[in-house]
Amino acid sequence: MSQTQYIFFSGKGGVGKTTMACATAVQNADQGKRTLIITTDPASNLSDVFETEIGHQIRPLGVDNLWGMEIDPDKATEEYRERTLAPMRAVMPESVIKVLEEQFNSPCTTEIASFDRFVDFMAGEDGDEGTGYDVVIFDTAPTGHTLRMLELPVDWSKHIEESAKGTGNTCIGPVASIQENKKKYDEATRLLGDPSRTEFTFVLQPEGTSVYETQRASKELAQIGVKKTQLIVNGILAEEICDTPFFRSRYDMQQNYLKRISEEFDVPVKHMYQRNGEIKGVQGLRNVARDLFSTNGHKPEIMLQAGVTPTKGADFVEIDSAKLLEVIRPTAGKTKALFFTGKGGVGKTAVSCAVAVALAERGFKTLLLTTDPASHIGQVMEQNVGSGINPIEGVANLDAVMIDQEEAVKTYKDRIIEDAKKKYSEEMMAAVREELESPCTEEMAAFDTFMGYVEREDYDIVVFDTAPTGHTLRLLELPFDYADQVGMMVSTTEAGNEVKKDTQQRFDRIIAQMKDPERSAFAFVVYPESTPVIEAYRAMLDLKKANISTQFVVANQVLRKENCTNDYFKARRLMQEKYLGEINERFGLPVATMPLFETEIMGLEMVRRAGESLFTPEKAHVTA
């Protein structure tokens, strides 16, 4: 049997990774190859695209030779915990098992468990050639998180090796119980660097932030040994449909980026045109695959309506701009945190920047902050935004900062070690230092930095541009189980209990602040399309379980009727109207709209226009 081939899809959120991955899976299956598609995105849309329930088990997808699976972080964690502890239960005292179970309550167990399940399909039993898959396709989380995941085989292999020389413990269990994992991680690293087995496909759109992220991620992939890559440029507007000045401007913008892509990337590039409707179901995916893999000069059918022509949904009511400001403005005489989240690529960064500028220019002292590892606020503002707080030139009352991962880790380690020196013996300090070398420390450090900004009281408003939905929810869940991790190394000592008590009190304050609508406001950014709306709605319900309420929704890139003069854009506008009504109906919250502009939102002038479109809608029509 031939060796299993591995194909990874990644890119900036919202560029069409899942659609391209699913179309590629269908194409391979239709060619007779036994194909498995797996999503590692915690906010997966695989089931939505195939219009069938998938879940955490491998299931057939209604196409011969095609199966799928959605890795569920919680289920993966339980499986990992039981797989690691099962051999010990028969030989270890109950008191020792309880200590080990305590270890597995750490936040990073979820990360390593999901990652470990992913590695199984490359280097473990599920990835063995004997399972009979010819092709395994990974539909991954947005770029920053994908790069983190692909770096983990090296990080965890090294950590296990170093821990074996020290205490013999890691934050994911005793070294003795996870030595086999090291072999898996080493094999995964080898396969990632084998161009005859592994190919990495970046999906991007012809826009500045998407091109920038792809360039950055390409360099990082090369550093971890990935050798074979290609690009799919998605969402291209065909010239014949851009028959108004508005869309001609967007067409010209895209053509400039397409030229830049061809000049700056020395890898194979495929082009995909934007359709006038949603791509869902097997037939819609086959239509995409036909265009994607055509070698006979086939003209993409851009006017093809995939699926059923949309019908008008519930009536849509937009929030009055004055009421939107009332929802956002601080009222408790203290700093208010404003969180923007949503599916990757829906425009969270642009909306965050636009709202921050609009609030600052209305007299509120504002801090704009990003927690996204693939941050673009600097590109959107066209100004340097670093890990230190700096003013945004040209806007009074506005500062900006990004959480730099490496710097956050260094600061966190230094602080933990300094605090520990005051309380622990040298022997205990060795355990603390070893624990801090765990790859989990990155997640803890980022969260610790995030908390520091939530606690600030020297601004009227702090605007958080967060990572895509699944990762944001993980970040917001951390306070509920994070205190145990902080004191884990010393959990059996009185000093350790004091550490956990102090940490828990701090978290309790932050949790109370996030639950208080006068101190925190949560908003989802969506496109008026099916998957962003469904994902945001699920996430809103998840927040509600944690007693965190959502205050409003921003529907982004809404087509104005006056710009939709031909059948193609009329069809897209009709689709949007359906989902705008659905947003009102599902969420039952105030909804603000930001229109699609004739060019991308980059530079202070465009950011200002975008902000005014939310707070003074009539100004959105002014040509820049």
CA gyration radius for the chain?
25
Which residues face 72 on adjacent strands?
A: none
**Homologous superfamily of domain range 5-72+112-161+179-236+267-292:** P-loop containing nucleotide triphosphate hydrolases (3.40.50.300)
Nearest CA to 540 out of 529, 526, 528 is that of 526
Name the one residue in this structure whose structure tokens are 């609030």: 359
Report how far residue 501's alpha carbon sits from residue 507's, in angstroms, rounded to the nearest whole number: 10
pLDDT score recorded for residue 222: 78
Report how far residue 377's alpha carbon sits from residue 385's, in angstroms, rounded to the nearest whole number: 7
Element (H, E) at 264: helix 245-264
Q: pLDDT (tens digit, 9 = 90+) per residue, 198-212? A: 888 999 999 888 888
Type of residue numbered 149 = M
Q: Which residue has the higher pLDDT, 30 or 423?
A: 30
Name the one residue in this structure whose structure tokens are 């091109």: 211
Burial class (CB in 10 A: 0-12, 13-18, 19+), 494: exposed
Type of residue numbered 292 = L
Give ∠ CA 225-107-338 in degrees, rounded to 5.
95
pLDDT score recorded for residue 467: 62
Q: 305 pLDDT band (50/70/90 cuts)? A: very low
- φ and ψ at 570, to 5 degrees? -65, -40
Query: Under a CB-based contact definition with an 8 Å cutoff, are residues 594 and 577 in contact?
Result: no
* DSSP code string of 579-603: HHHHHHHHH-S-EEEEEPPSS---S
Tell me the CB-side half-sphere exposure of residue 394, using CA atoms within 13 A. Answer: 10
Q: 263 pLDDT band (50/70/90 cuts)? A: very high
> Three-class SS of residue 462?
strand
Nearest CA to 610 out of 387, 424, 340 is that of 340
Q: pLDDT (tens digit, 9 = 90+) per residue, 327-344? A: 888 886 888 989 888 776
Q: What is the dihedral of CA 258, 261, 266, 268, to 10 degrees?
A: -50
- The pTM of this model reads 0.78
Query: Under a CB-based contact definition with an 8 Å cutoff, are residues 221 and 192 in contact?
Result: no
pLDDT score recorded for residue 106: 57
Nearest CA to 74 out of 509, 505, 376, 474 is that of 474
pLDDT score recorded for residue 398: 95
- φ and ψ at 69, to 5 degrees? -155, 140
pLDDT score recorded for residue 440: 62
Query: Under a CB-based contact definition with an 8 Å cutoff, are residues 339 and 352 in contact?
Result: no
CA 499 to each of CA 98, 424, 444, 490, 493: distance values in angstroms, whole numbers, following the listed order: 20, 11, 15, 9, 10
Q: Which residue has the higher pLDDT, 264 or 379?
A: 264
CATH topology identical between 5-72+112-161+179-236+267-292 and 321-618:
yes
Of 87-96, 324-333, 363-372, highest mean pLDDT = 363-372
Q: Which residue has the higher pLDDT, 470 or 456?
A: 456
Q: pLDDT (tens digit, 9 = 90+) per residue, 209-249? A: 888 888 887 887 777 777 888 999 999 999 999 999 999 99
Which sequence spans correspond to the domains of the chain? 5-72+112-161+179-236+267-292, 321-618
pLDDT score recorded for residue 487: 47
Contacts of 226 (CB under 8 A, 6+ apart): 150, 192, 193, 198, 200
Report how far residue 592's alpha carbon sits from residue 614's, in angstroms, rounded to the nearest whole number: 6
Query: 395-404, 510-519, 587-596: which has the minimum mean pLDDT?
Result: 510-519
Report how far residue 552's alpha carbon sits from residue 543's, in angstroms, rounded to the nearest whole number: 13
pLDDT score recorded for residue 609: 93
Instruction: Kindly report the number of other CB atoms within 10 A of residue 572's CB atom.
Output: 22
Q: What is the CATH code of the structural domain delimited by 321-618?
A: 3.40.50.300
Does the pLDDT value for residue 306 go beyond 70?
no
Instruction: Kindly report the number of other CB atoms within 10 A of residue 212's CB atom.
Output: 16
